[in-house]
Amino acid sequence: MSKNLLITVILATLLVASVIGGYIYMNRQSGGKSITVLAAGSLAVPFSKIANLYEEKYGVKVNIETAGSIETVKKVSELGRKADIVAVADYRAISTYLFPRFANWYIKFAKNELVITYTNSSRYASIINQSNWMEILSKKDVRIGFSSPNDDPCGYRAVMMFYLASIKYNSSIFRNVVENNTAISDDNGTITVPDDSKLVGEQGKVFIKQKSVALLGDLESGDIDYAIEYLSVAKQHGLKYIRLPDYINLSNSSLDSFYQKAKVRLADGREIAGGAINYGITVPTNAPNKEYAYRFVNLLIGEEGRKILEQCGQPPMYETYGNLPGEIKA
């Protein structure tokens, strides 16, 4: 064995030993205890930071699994997954899919808004702005990405955004981008979304994936020019972005009556009306480790958690629904 090869083997062995040692240490520190957090993809960054604080404070391992929020709640309601925490980008996913069997309360804990993200390599990147974005996105050579409305609130919110823009500005943007390039259609004022088999994987003018953050790779590689994302995601990943007026970015709860003009019927038959972007969190009724789950929620809604949310571009809020457990402390 050559000297260089021997050194490589030794370094690899030390690295593996370090990883295993760290796992054993953490497992001992936590007494083998852990919690499972099912979360929206747009919560990956702040929840990772909060999980680090939680593990240091309580010695309990936090396992975070991210997906689109609709997919996330269906893991519990349809696939029988037992989770300690469920946190979604649309609080209504909790009441729609988990009430009353799997949950009976939730907390709205953060806000967000939709933006149009892009890079220096995007077509027309040098000229797109808040005044001409509809013209740019309607161009035949421009490729756009958003997530599946069936799996991810960012997806149905993206569709709502285009629809609301068409109403507000008497524009053809919804038809030009959505109806002409996907199987999504306007059915007498209700936006109808087909099954994912007719949406996900399409790669024409419009790219659709199961969760919005999955489009970031396509954006960076140049496979798409623009992606509809949350402002927090744009900030966290250092993307360029166009901010949109409150009337269409779904950020302002005082405009809910206008947002509700956009109604989406998902493939499973459920209908969702437009509304301000509010994140929600709950501890399912069948959570295996409720005591530790409540501590996670308290850390999230407390001063440290709110500071992390603010830093990550997701302004914290606090509104409750249902009878919160006594262990939850605002």
Q: Is the pLDDT of residue 184 over 90?
A: yes
Q: Is the separation of the CB atoms in 256 and 276 below 8 Å?
A: yes
Domain parsing of the chain, residue ranges: 29-111+278-322, 114-273
What pLDDT band is residue 329 in, cutting at 50, 70 and 90? confident
Tokens of 260: 């509700």
Angle at 74 between CA 71 and CA 79, to 5 degrees: 120
Q: Is the pLDDT of residue 25 over 80?
A: no
The reported pTM is 0.88
The per-residue pLDDT for range 124-182, each reduced to its tens digit, is 999 999 999 999 999 999 999 999 999 999 999 999 999 999 999 999 999 999 999 99
Third-level CATH fold of 29-111+278-322: D-Maltodextrin-Binding Protein; domain 2 (3.40.190)
Lowest mean pLDDT of 10-24, 48-62, 80-94, 234-248, name the range: 10-24
E-strand stretches of 75-157: 85-88, 105-111, 114-118, 144-147
Question: What pLDDT shows up at residue 32?
Answer: 73
Question: What pLDDT shows up at residue 22?
Answer: 43
What pLDDT band is residue 219 in, cutting at 50, 70 and 90? very high
The per-residue pLDDT for range 63-96, each reduced to its tens digit, is 999 999 999 999 999 999 999 999 999 999 999 9
Tokens of 241: 């972005």
Q: Are strands 190-192 and 185-187 parallel, antiparallel or unpaired?
A: antiparallel
The per-residue pLDDT for range 232-244, each reduced to its tens digit, is 999 999 999 999 9
Question: What pLDDT shows up at residue 31?
Answer: 60
Question: What pLDDT shows up at residue 256?
Answer: 98
Q: What is the mean pLDDT of the chain?
A: 92
Question: What pLDDT shows up at residue 277?
Answer: 98
Pick from 116, 69, 114, 121: which is nearest to 96 by CA?
69
Question: What pLDDT shows up at residue 5?
Answer: 41
Distance CA 113, CA 313 (A): 10
Distance CA 146, CA 178 (A): 10
Class of domain 114-273: alpha beta
Give yes or no on whether 29-111+278-322 and 114-273 have one common fold.
Answer: yes
Q: Is the pLDDT of residue 286 over 60?
A: yes
